[in-house]
Amino acid sequence: MTTTDTHLTDEGAQEMTARDVASAAEKLREQGAVLRLSEAEAEAVAAELEAAPEDETMIINMGPQHPSTHGVLRLMLELQGETVLRCKPIIGYLHTGMEWTGEELTYLQGPTNVTRMDYAAPMFNELVFSLCVEQLLEIEAPERATWIRMLMCELNRMASHLLFLATNGMDIGAVSMMLYGWREREEVLRFFQEVTGLRMNHNYIRPGGVAADLPPGWRDGVLRLIELIDPRLDEYDVLMTNQPIWRERLQGVGVIAAEECMALGVTGPILRSTGYAWDLRRDMPYLAYDQVDFDVIVGSFGDCFDRYAIRLNEIRESMRIVRQIVDLMPRGDYRIQDKKVTPPPRERIDESMEALIHHFKLFTEGFKVPEGESYAAVESPRGELGCYIVSDGSANPYRMHIRGPSFVNLQSLPHMMHGGLVADAVAVISSVDPIMGEVDR
């Protein structure tokens, strides 16, 4: 441990160490070797470092306050000139103990906590938490609730990917894209505000259903939104997809192979960019995704451009799903009619003492969940978002763990960056699209 006076941002052994101190395995990992290497390959990778004597390289910090690190991600890069030799992400600057907080909150309060993790895709956090609790309760949300959840999640996926397009554009220098992306995302958030009352951190999807029914006229709102965004996506195509500068900047940058993704547990658009079609919505359907028609978008080169194009086209697929949902939305309850889980309607409280007591008990003590453990997973815009809950039969989870896709996906950074330029590092971070609130939880 170093003295605290001189190193105010020192993270000790978490940092990238000098080469003569680091172990061989560590160095290989920081250089991007994931798969089991043959001896010759391992030597070739190691030789690369030897070719660059340590006094000719330098280790620099990128972040935690760098504007293009999407929050407080800190990267330590060993550079030779402009080439990245080694890379190590250092995280934890946004750690707020949300898993611990989850143990202190009741199941009813839980969504307010988890929704703040991946703040660009809050609906998915609420959804995965609710699905997991419902598995433990052995209840199933009514059909309408399921479809409302799907609607909100797909709109949220659009908002999240629009945010990605915005920040990706900004990182790479297409500053107008930043403005357009935020502008369109705001339109989606405006619809969310109509439905949930909030732009972000909705606490809308709850165990047993959703918090409120869709407002009258929601169909028009959704269709107007889609009509607005659809032509704008074509504008993005003109602005960026076919633009030579944009392609030069992204194509062939940050390449990762499907095998590496599998080994690292990387999911979502990064895995799909390698040409591996894996989408939980299609392959292990939850909600009612088996009843809607959509395509899984895959890339072929696993580079930053593919990841950009996948997200852009996933917005189109989401719109396709949303259009079907607008047509297929069933009537019925928006939350389960189970007195154990659902509070009585507001009107009943005025006329029934039992309803008042019931309401009071539910919101002060919460509802009890049978003992057991369960894991639920959904496809969030960033990959597989999982929730693992252990219940001891009380009203609070005994243990609540969130498997954040960004947390796992960050591990792919050294592999994508190795051998690239430091200027491309920005493009690579951006294409992973990490949300630090979820990484650090």
Partner 1 sequence: MADETVDAAQPTAEAREPQPEQQFGVPVTRVGGQAVLHVAAADYLDLVRRLYEDGHHMCVDLTAVDYLTYEADRGLPAGVPPERFEVVVGFLSHTSRSRVRVRVQVPESDTTLPSITDTYPGADAMEREVFDMFGITFTGHPDLTRILMPEDWVGNPLRKDYNSGRIPVQFKNPVSVPDAVAGQ
Binding site for partner 1 (CB under 8 A): 1, 4-5, 8, 10-14, 23, 25-26, 29, 34-35, 91-92, 95, 97, 99-100, 135, 138, 262-267, 278, 283-284, 371-375, 377, 384, 386, 388, 390, 392-393, 398-399, 401, 403, 407-408, 410-411, 440-441
Instruction: Pick between residue 19 and residue 358 the one whose CB is nearest to partner 1.
Output: 19
User: CB of 284: closest distance to partner 1 in angstroms?
Assistant: 6
Report yes or no: 341 and 134 within 8 Å, Cβ to Cβ. no
- The dihedral built from the CA positions of residue 81, 82, 87 and 92, taken in this order, carries a sign that is positive
Q: Nearest distance from residue 235's CB to partner 1, in Å?
A: 36
CB of 109 to partner 1, least distance (A): 18
**Cα–Cα distance measured from residue 319 to residue 313, given in angstroms and rounded to the nearest whole number:** 10
Least Cβ distance, residue 229 to partner 1 (angstroms): 32
Cβ 401 to partner 1, closest distance in Å? 4
For partner 1, the closer of residues 8 and 353 by Cβ is: 8
Pairing type for strands 58-62 and 397-403 reads unpaired
Question: Would you say the C-alpha torsion 350, 354, 355, 361 has a positive or negative sign?
Answer: positive
Task: Specify which residues 372 forms β-bridges with.
Answer: 391
**Torsion on CA atoms 304, 308, 310, 316, rounded to nearest 10:** 180
Shortest gap between Cβ of 322 and partner 1 (angstroms)? 26
Least Å distance, CB 246 to partner 1, is 31
Answer for the pair 310, 402: CB distance below 8 angstroms, yes or no: no
Distance CA 208, CA 149 (A): 11
* Shorter beta-carbon distance to partner 1: residue 263 or 288: 263
Residue type, 341: V
Write the DSSP symbol of residue 204: -
CA-based torsion, 278, 282, 285, 289: positive or negative: positive
Which CB atom, from 225 or from 341, has the smaller least distance to partner 1? 341
C-alpha gyration radius of the chain: 23
Which CB atom, from 285 or from 344, has the smaller least distance to partner 1? 285
Distance between CA 214 and CA 31 in Å, rounded?
50
Q: Which residue, 184 or 260, is less far from partner 1 as judged by CB?
A: 260
Nearer to partner 1, 15 or 187 (CB): 15
Sign of the Cα torsion 177, 181, 184, 187 reads negative
